[in-house]
C-alpha cells in the first residue's frame, strides 16, 4: 500500500482529473487544483465514505481543522493574497474535500466565488511544479 493511503479509500475521479497530488499530510492528501487563475489547494481526508465533516470522528475533525489552517497560512504567506477562501461544499463531488483558495482584489471573478466563473486555465507543467515546490517549502 502507498504511504498515507488508507484502506478502502478511493479518490473521486473528478477530483483526480481536476487536480494534482502535492503531498500527504497526517489525515489528508493535499492536492493542487489545475487552474492557474487562482492559487487553489484541496485537502482530501483519507476516510472512505466521508461526505460531511460531521461524518468523521471528533479526532479526525480536529486534525482536518489543524491541517486546513496550516495549509491556509502557508498559502497566504506564499501568495501574499488579500483573503483566503475556505470551503467544503460537496454539491457536485460528494467525497469530503476542503478547498483553500488565495484571493485578491482584481483576480478573475473578484469578489465573487471561483465556482462557475469562466473556463479553467490549466497550468503549464513547469509552473505547476514550481507552485507545488513553493507550497511544500512553506509547509
Rounded to a whole number of angstroms, the CA Rg of the chain reads 14
Region 56-81: mean pLDDT is 98
Question: In this prediction, what percent of the chain has a pLDDT beyond 70?
Answer: 95
pLDDT digits (tens, 9 = 90+) for 77-110: 999 999 999 999 999 999 999 999 999 999 999 9
Q: Which domain holds residue 17?
A: 13-138
For residue 109, the domain's CATH number is 3.30.428.10
Grid coordinates belonging to 41? 489547494
6, part of any domain: no
Query: For residue 35, is pLDDT > 70?
Result: yes
* DSSP 8-class letter at 61: H
Whether residue 8 is predicted with pLDDT greater than 80 in this model: the reply is: no
Residue 8 lies in a domain: no
Provide the whole-model pTM.
0.93
Residue 26 lies in a domain: yes
Domain count, the chain: 1
Q: Tell whether 4 is covered by a domain.
A: no
Amino acid at each position: 500500500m502507498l504511504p498515507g493511503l488508507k484502506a478502502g479509500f478511493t479518490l473521486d475521479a473528478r477530483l483526480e482529473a481536476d487536480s494534482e497530488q502535492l503531498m500527504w499530510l497526517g489525515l489528508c492528501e493535499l492536492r493542487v487544483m489545475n487552474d492557474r487563475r487562482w492559487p487553489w489547494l484541496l485537502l482530501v481526508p483519507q476516510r472512505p465514505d466521508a461526505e460531511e465533516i460531521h461524518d468523521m470522528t471528533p479526532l479526525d475533525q480536529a486534525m482536518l481543522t489543524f491541517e486546513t489552517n496550516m495549509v491556509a497560512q502557508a498559502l497566504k504567506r506564499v501568495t501574499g493574497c488579500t483573503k483566503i477562501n475556505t470551503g467544503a461544499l460537496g454539491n457536485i463531488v460528494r467525497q469530503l474535500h476542503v478547498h483553500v483558495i488565495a484571493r485578491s482584489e482584481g483576480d478573475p471573478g473578484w469578489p465573487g466565488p471561483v465556482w462557475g466563473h469562466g473556463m479553467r486555465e490549466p497550468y503549464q507543467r513547469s509552473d505547476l511544479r514550481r507552485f507545488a515546490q513553493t507550497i511544500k517549502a512553506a509547509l
